[in-house]
Amino acid sequence: MFKSYNPYKLEDKMKSLHHFFSENMESFLGYPCNGKFDYRSLYPFLDYPLNNVGDPFVSSNFALNTHNIEREVIEIFQDLTKADKSETWGYCTNGGTEGNMYGLFLAREIHPNAIVYYSDETHYSVNKIIKCLNIKSTRVKALPKGEMDLNHLNQLLYDNQNKPAIIVCNVGTTMKGAIDDLKGIRNALKKNNIKRSYIHADAALSGMILPFVKDPQSWSFADGIDSISISGHKMIGSPIPCGIVLAKSENIDHISQEVEYVGSKDTTIPGSRNAISPVFLWYQLKKLGFIGFQRMIKKCFDVADFSIKMFKAYGIEAWRHNNSVTVVFKRPSDYLIKKWQLAVNGETAHIITMPHVTKRKIVSFVKEIAEDKKRALKQVSSL
């Protein structure tokens, strides 16, 4: 049986935990989570057992909800993704994985005999979701810089012309920030006479970048997607993992059911849903506005370009895709991976220049990479 803590001991434990987070935030470079936000004015909402159970567009018997705020958030994302508001629907999720699951769940219900096509660079959640949903699937090769290999996709579609196709289109891959060629994917479906298809866009990070650039790649509902998942704790920033999913309204009926218990429709994946994160998202979106996010994204690009220049000044190759804040370079030592909390895959590593990443941090980081590389070369030469 667990025992209660002495109040002073409990306070010390919390202070220690806060210090740990504060200290590690200084070297938080490898993951796409924005640490620059201030939600202190929203803390009073934590005094209530809020729950967004049910469909955000249908009234519920559970009055302690933020459905009205959630609907405003969805409306903003409908604008950002060029979705027709009369033909799309959505809700706030627990993050990108839930959004991906929702898109693939809809796709499976519409095309139960389909094959899911996803690239080698697709987020690991997709493979897990495919197993959970028990859908047939096949991997598509990726090009060296992370985009889906359309030649391989064409070959796979040709071999399975009698089957519906569900395509996961990466709008910013996890490791390299690559964006799959949506126009090329649609052309491949047409070329191979695939009449029944569904395209889900995983835009976890780039879904809050591309709406604010002058020349975005194809990625939106206007470009032919059927659903999209975007994270909220990434570029917007939130102390709680969250996101949104949008899909075509006509497809929602495939999973919708009435639930008398809560007086609403069951159209989401979870039953009880987080009612605080929609408030965080709404607050930050309204606080910064479109122009504010435009400026923020530009600063992130500036820091990314500064990072690449710093790397090159020390003779280290680094690069990023157009409209990406993911700076890719060769994997450093395990010590630096742990210290700077880097994401790595094989010989590839990256930093992601989120709004909290400053040029001062980049200078310190790249210098350590260069010194580490120098030490490694000395060790090799002394052998």
Give the residue numbers marked as catalytic. Answer: 324
Distance CA 311, CA 363 (A): 9
Distance CA 316, CA 190 (A): 43
**Rg of the chain (C-alpha set):** 22
Distance CA 383, CA 381 (A): 6
Q: Take residue 140 and report the two structure tokens written for it.
A: 């598509």
Q: What angle do CA 358, 121, 369 make, to 5 degrees?
A: 35
Q: What angle do CA 254, 65, 47 make, to 5 degrees?
A: 145
Burial track 200-216 (b if 16+ CB lie within 10 A, e otherwise)? bbbbbbbbbbbbbeeeb
Phi, psi of 280 (to 5 degrees): -60, -50
User: What DSSP element (H or E) covers 201?
Assistant: strand 197-202
SS3 content of the chain, % helix, strand, coil (to 5): 45, 15, 40
Concatenating the DSSP letter of every residue in 291-344 gives HHHHHHHHHHHHHHHHHHHHHHHTT--EE--TT--EEEEE---HHHHHHTT-EE
Contact in structure between 219 and 206 (CB atoms under 8 Å): yes
Distance CA 295, CA 223 (A): 25
Distance CA 309, CA 319 (A): 9
List strands edge to edge, sheet with 88-93. 88-93, 243-248, 227-231, 197-202, 165-170, 115-119, 136-140
